[in-house]
């Protein structure tokens, strides 16, 4: 993996540095000067430790400034959640975008520090993986006195192969974030995959052949229940690219 922009995957234009953990979040959690384990070097079997404020990744100046707008909008949303204040559905969609970004940034960070070992060319970057697949966020108020920032689930081979799920603890609130193709669509009554078939234009990709949705909301989004979050937000991402099977989405239920 070469030195590329964390957002667009191209050689950084007017090179800049993006903090994987944004400065406002370090301030909010009192972690600006904390040293944190951010993963493992799998070849040496050694922990990779960083001072939070120097855990950065190259980026283009423009990509960085585009994304700083999301950061500015997300900061008050996280603060509201920490204070148990009301958030709107627009806030929550913005929050899901931000979690896509943080999850993929942590993944690119680990990939970058293991570039000799895995030698995988990432298929996604922080801006190209945004809003691409169904996503969910479980929010749990732990009512503890923890002040800090930590994440789990990123330091394993599953996450390195497929960065779909991780948790982030911000002070006393735990966020569990997950995103992959159609993880919530079927349960929300929307079209869902019957099977996958090879993409005729790209042998690394597959296309989903879709079933019509049941048009009914299931009360249970996931079969397993690991813990009881305070709230779960689920958002389906419709696959209507390239005018493929658009009739599946041409229903009153979907439009409503």
Provide the binding-site residues for Zn ion, judged by CB under 5 A. Answer: 5, 7-8, 60, 63
Q: Give the residue with the Cβ less far from Zn ion, 14 or 37.
A: 14
Q: Give the residue with the Cβ less far from Zn ion, 9 or 213.
A: 9
Q: How far is the CB of 63 from Zn ion (least distance, A)?
A: 3
Query: Which residue matches tokens 């000799």?
Result: 116
Q: How far is the CB of 64 from Zn ion (least distance, A)?
A: 8
Q: Give the residue with the Cβ less far from Zn ion, 8 or 184.
A: 8
Q: Give the residue with the Cβ less far from Zn ion, 71 or 91.
A: 71
- Supply the angle between the helices 89-113 and 61-82 in degrees, to the nearest 10: 120
Q: Give the residue with the Cβ less far from Zn ion, 8 or 96.
A: 8
**In the complex, which residue's CB is closest to Zn ion?**
5
Q: How far is the CB of 98 from Zn ion (least distance, A)?
A: 18
Q: Give the residue with the Cβ less far from Zn ion, 8 or 106.
A: 8
Q: How far is the CB of 131 from Zn ion (least distance, A)?
A: 17
Give the span between the Cα atoms of 78 and 18, in whole angstroms.
20
Q: How far is the CB of 13 from Zn ion (least distance, A)?
A: 6
Q: How far is the CB of 57 from Zn ion (least distance, A)?
A: 11
């Amino acid at each position: 993996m070469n030195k590329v922009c964390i957002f667009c995957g191209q050689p950084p234009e007017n090179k800049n540095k993006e903090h994987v953990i944004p400065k406002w979040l370090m301030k909010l959690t009192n972690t600006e000067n904390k040293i944190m384990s951010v993963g493992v070097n799998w070849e040496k079997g050694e922990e990779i430790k960083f001072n939070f404020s120097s855990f950065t990744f190259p980026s283009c100046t423009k990509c960085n400034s585009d994304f700083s707008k999301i950061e500015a909008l997300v900061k008050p949303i996280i603060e509201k959640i920490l204070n148990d204040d009301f958030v709107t559905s627009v806030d929550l969609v913005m929050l899901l975008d931000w979690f896509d970004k943080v999850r993929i940034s942590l993944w690119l960070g680990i990939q970058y520090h293991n570039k000799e070992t895995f030698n995988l060319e990432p298929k996604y970057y922080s801006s190209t993986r945004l809003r691409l697949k169904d996503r969910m966020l479980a929010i749990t108020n732990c009512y503890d006195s923890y002040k800090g920032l930590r994440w789990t689930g990123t330091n394993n081979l599953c996450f390195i192969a497929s960065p779909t799920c991780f948790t982030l603890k911000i002070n006393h609130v735990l966020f569990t974030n997950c995103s992959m193709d159609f993880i919530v669509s079927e349960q929300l009554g929307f079209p869902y995959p019957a099977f996958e078939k090879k993409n005729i234009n790209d042998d690394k990709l597959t296309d989903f052949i879709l079933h019509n949705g049941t048009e009914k909301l299931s009360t249970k989004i996931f079969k397993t229940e690991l813990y009881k979050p305070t709230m779960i937000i689920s958002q389906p991402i419709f696959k209507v690219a390239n005018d493929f099977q658009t009739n599946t989405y041409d229903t009153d239920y979907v439009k409503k």
